[in-house]
């Protein structure tokens, strides 16, 4: 009998579907990736074809297994991680989508959110879900589909439709097979981390909430079952991968990355450097409401016990490098930005605030626009490139500062000063910042991040932590791992960046950044 020691992670992102085979030690054995179409029916609307999401995910799973030289029978369990909030509704009888998937970036549900805010309901949603009332989240997208697709609401009330975020859609297709007869027995479920992003889940109880369902006019009949992130969800139809494989782990991408970074305890934090940046700090069993522009979200939960995290997002992270390449034409390829930035000793007093689409947490100013300040006759494109990289670190430092103030307030202590002041206390009890995502390979950026924060910035050997987190959750559910201590011991450092700047100098830099932000917001 084959000893099953491999894990297959399905990583369904905003622009591509990826599948990664990991061995039991968390090492990448093979990877496959396929991009899919982005659909923009109107300004502010973003959609995906659910069938294309499924097709690209399935073929990458098959390709990854083939590249690894293993069969599905050697896979102990499958983990799924996904773009959060993206919303799919389909027929329970046929598996046919009722409408395109409405992507997390889509803004069409803003009028619904505005109406709820005008009724004074923001506090109700915040207390139960940890979220702000925003079109970002999936419950308002679901309401739009039920309100605008002919016959949808009546069909939903008759129990004929199923709603899910992308994890739920993939699980339905994986467990239902290829024909209508088997698909009627498909698993309709999600995990707490994805359910917590709907505006419909009481995260204190990990249960759908009747009051919130009523406020958004959502029939309970369309909702999936909610389980812990590590759970025996079901098994794939054997015809899809060549053998039936258990599905044992599910988590939204950012919570999965937190888990893959082995941030299992309160006070541990990670930052993902992608197109934007997502920072999460685990708060343990404590539901902590932010007063500093962050949201509270359910962490990936290996058991039925609720666990939480504070989350903040930077809209423009690595995308600022894309702008240098495509907009300013300062570099022919993104990978050349570090060399250009390192050709000068510092930014020469230039500060770049990349508010191309407004500013995210902790500022939340949609009207802000990008600005480059501190230009002189001596400024070169190299100074601007260095300032662009530094902007990613400045924005991330402001996020961790906000988390530190929230953590200090929760513990009854004094937080860091407002804005960027008080850089010495940015850690807020965080001993180190664990980093992942494509831009974390930039050594200059990571060193500058450490200088601003005054704590070590730690890059792991495996930076595919989103997929790794899903694999670890799956491995826990099937018994491949004994517990979190084993996973924590398995997490391996590739490089640690230690701060060398004085705290006074770091505070001065952050004060300059905050001054530039104020100028940007005033534009």
CA angle 199, 230, 494 (to 5 degrees): 100
For the chain, give the longest Cα–Cα distance: 72
The CA distance from 321 to 21, in Å, is 30
The CA distance from 97 to 172, in Å, is 12
Residue whose C-alpha is closest to residue 166's, from 147, 143, 141: 141
- What is the reported pTM? 0.87
pLDDT for residue 423 is more than 80: no
Residue whose C-alpha is closest to residue 17's, from 39, 30, 32, 38: 32
Tokens of 299: 């962490």
The CA distance from 60 to 10, in Å, is 8
The neighbouring-strand residues paired with 277 are 273, 314
Predicted confidence band of residue 194 (pLDDT cuts 50, 70, 90) = very high
**First-last CA distance in the chain:** 68
**Radius of gyration of the chain from its Cα atoms, rounded to whole angstroms:** 23
Question: DSSP code of 39?
Answer: B
| CA-to-CA separations, 98 to 112, 161, 277, 311, in angstroms, rounded | 21, 9, 32, 32
pLDDT at 184: 62
The mean pLDDT value for 443-467 works out to 93
Share of the chain above pLDDT 70, in %: 94
Q: In this predicted structure, which of 192-196, 330-334, 497-501 has the lowest mean pLDDT? A: 330-334
pLDDT at 505: 93
Predicted confidence band of residue 340 (pLDDT cuts 50, 70, 90) = very high
- CB distance 315 to 369 below 8 Å: no
Tens of pLDDT, residues 68-110: 999 999 999 999 999 999 999 999 988 899 999 998 888 889 8
Residue given tokens 């039991």 in the structure block: 24
* DSSP-derived secondary structure for 340-393: HHTTSSS-TT-EEE--BTBB-TTT-BTT---EEE---TT--HHHHHHHHHHHHH
The mean pLDDT value for 397-401 works out to 89
Predicted confidence band of residue 1 (pLDDT cuts 50, 70, 90) = very low
Predicted confidence band of residue 412 (pLDDT cuts 50, 70, 90) = low
pLDDT at 405: 83
Residue 461 makes CB contacts below 8 A (sequence gap 6+) with 492, 493, 494
The mean pLDDT value for 282-309 works out to 90
Tens of pLDDT, residues 196-226: 999 999 999 999 999 999 999 999 999 999 9
The CA distance from 184 to 161, in Å, is 12
The mean pLDDT value for 293-319 works out to 89
Predicted confidence band of residue 178 (pLDDT cuts 50, 70, 90) = low
Residue given tokens 């794939």 in the structure block: 236
Three-class SS state of 484: helix
More confident residue, 414 or 48: 48
More confident residue, 151 or 39: 151
Residue whose C-alpha is closest to residue 268's, from 407, 85, 424: 407
Predicted confidence band of residue 183 (pLDDT cuts 50, 70, 90) = low
Task: Give the distance from CA 402 to its chain's centroid.
Answer: 18
- CB distance 372 to 387 below 8 Å: yes
Q: In this predicted structure, which of 36-45, 263-272, 375-384 has the lowest mean pLDDT? A: 36-45
pLDDT at 2: 45
The neighbouring-strand residues paired with 457 are 433, 497
Task: Give the distance from CA 372 to its chain's centroid.
Answer: 28
Residue given tokens 């404590």 in the structure block: 286
More confident residue, 522 or 7: 7
Mean pLDDT for all residues in the chain: 89
pLDDT for residue 522 is more than 80: no
As a dihedral over the C-alpha atoms of residue 499, residue 411, residue 299, residue 271, rounded to 10 degrees, the angle is -20
| CA-to-CA separations, 280 to 164, 291, 434, 435, in angstroms, rounded | 24, 16, 10, 11
Tokens of 423: 């850089």
pLDDT at 358: 78
Predicted confidence band of residue 173 (pLDDT cuts 50, 70, 90) = very high
Q: Are strands 246-252 and 75-82 parallel, antiparallel or unpaired?
A: parallel
| CA-to-CA separations, 272 to 63, 434, 438, 475, 485, in angstroms, rounded | 26, 9, 8, 23, 23
The CA distance from 295 to 127, in Å, is 11
């Amino acid at each position: 009998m084959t000893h099953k020691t491999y894990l297959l992670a399905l990583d369904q992102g905003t622009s591509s579907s990826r599948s990664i085979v990991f061995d039991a030690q968390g090492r990448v054995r093979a990877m496959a990736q396929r991009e899919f179409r982005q659909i923009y029916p109107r300004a502010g609307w973003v959609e995906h074809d659910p069938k294309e999401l499924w097709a690209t995910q399935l073929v990458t799973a098959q390709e990854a297994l083939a590249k690894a030289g293993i069969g599905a029978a050697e896979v102990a369990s499958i983990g799924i991680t996904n773009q959060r909030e993206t919303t799919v509704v389909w027929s329970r009888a046929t598996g046919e989508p009722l409408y395109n998937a409405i992507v997390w970036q889509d803004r069409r549900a803003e009028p619904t959110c505005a109406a709820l805010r005008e009724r004074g309901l923001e506090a109700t949603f915040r207390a139960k879900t940890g979220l702000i009332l925003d079109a970002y989240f999936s419950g308002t997208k679901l309401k739009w589909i039920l309100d605008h697709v002919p016959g949808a609401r009546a069909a939903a009330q008759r129990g004929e439709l199923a709603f899910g975020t992308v994890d739920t859609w993939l699980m339905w297709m994986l467990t239902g097979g290829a024909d209508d007869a088997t698909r009627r027995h498909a698993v309709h479920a999600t995990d707490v981390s994805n359910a917590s992003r709907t505006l419909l889940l009481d995260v204190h109880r990990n249960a759908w909430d009747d009051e919130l369902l009523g406020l958004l006019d959502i029939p309970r009949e369309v909702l999936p079952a909610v389980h812990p992130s590590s759970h025996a969800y079901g098994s794939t139809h054997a015809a899809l991968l060549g053998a039936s494989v258990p599905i044992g782990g599910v988590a939204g991408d950012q919570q999965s990355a937190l888990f893959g970074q082995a941030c299992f305890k309160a006070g541990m934090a990670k930052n993902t450097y992608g197109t934007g940046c997502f920072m999460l700090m685990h708060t343990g069993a404590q539901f902590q409401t932010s007063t500093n522009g962050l949201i509270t979200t359910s962490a990936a939960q290996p058991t039925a016990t609720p666990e939480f995290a504070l989350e903040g997002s930077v809209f423009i992270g690595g995308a600022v490098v894309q702008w240098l390449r495509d907009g300013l034409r300062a570099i022919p390829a993104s990978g050349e930005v570090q060399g250009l930035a390192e050709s000068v000793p510092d930014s020469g007093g230039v500060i770049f605030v990349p508010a191309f689409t407004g500013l995210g947490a902790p500022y939340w100013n949609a009207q802000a626009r990008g600005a480059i300040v501190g230009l002189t006759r001596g400024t070169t494109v190299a100074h601007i490139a260095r300032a662009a990289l530094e902007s990613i670190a400045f924005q991330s430092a402001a996020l961790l500062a906000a988390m530190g103030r929230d953590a200090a307030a929760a513990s009854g202590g004094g937080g860091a000063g407002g804005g960027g002041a008080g850089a010495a206390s940015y850690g807020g009890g965080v001993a180190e910042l664990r980093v992942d995502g494509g831009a974390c390979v930039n050594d200059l950026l990571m060193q500058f991040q450490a200088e601003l924060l005054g704590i070590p910035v730690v890059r792991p050997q495996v930076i595919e932590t989103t997929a790794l987190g899903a694999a670890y959750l799956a491995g826990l559910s099937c018994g491949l791992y004994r517990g979190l201590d084993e996973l924590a011991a398995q997490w391996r450092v590739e490089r640690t960046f230690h701060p060398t700047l004085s705290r006074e100098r770091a505070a001065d830099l952050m004060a300059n950044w905050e001054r530039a932000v104020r100028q940007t917001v005033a534009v």
